[in-house]
Structure formats: structure tokens, C-alpha cells
Amino acid sequence: MDKQLPSHIAYIVEKDEDDAEAKGFWREVGAVWQHKSGGFDLVIHPQISVSGRITCRERKDKPATATQ
């Protein structure tokens, strides 16, 4: 893997099973880099236990915050 930024971010979406109408809580668990051949490398953040379904979304740059 090189020093490029990840192409995607990996999340676990946790939902309240008792409330089908409630939105899920998206918890970032890792980063994803796409290979030139079309495959992916998924790196889970250290010290995170993951179970359930992992959802990967394209990374969006966060807006810069003004410092004063």
C-alpha cells in the first residue's frame, strides 16, 4: 500500500432492532484503498472489534475549518 489517501471509508451501521423507523448510527471502523486491478484493501482501525456488516462509502473531503 502506498501513502495515498483511502478511496473509501468503512463503516458499521448499527440500528435499533426494536425501532424499524430509526436511522442507523454509522461508526467509522476503517479505510479502503482500491487496487489498480479493481480489488480493495480494507484496513480496520487498531483496537476496534468488528462484527456485522461493513459498508464502504467513497471518501469525501471534510470542509476546512477556520482557525482564529
- Record the pTM: 0.72
Assign 68 a pLDDT band (cuts: 50, 70, 90). Answer: low
The DSSP line for 57-68 is EE--PPPPPP--
- The answer to whether position 28 is within a domain reads yes
Radius of gyration of the chain (CA): 15
- The answer to whether position 30 is within a domain reads yes
Query: Range of 40's domain?
Result: 8-58
Assign 11 a pLDDT band (cuts: 50, 70, 90). Answer: very high
Structural domains in the chain (count): 1
- The answer to whether position 32 is within a domain reads yes
DSSP class of 63: P
pLDDT in tens, 22-65: 788 889 999 999 888 989 999 999 988 888 888 999 988 776 66
- The answer to whether position 65 is within a domain reads no
Neighbours of 31 (CB within 10 A): 19
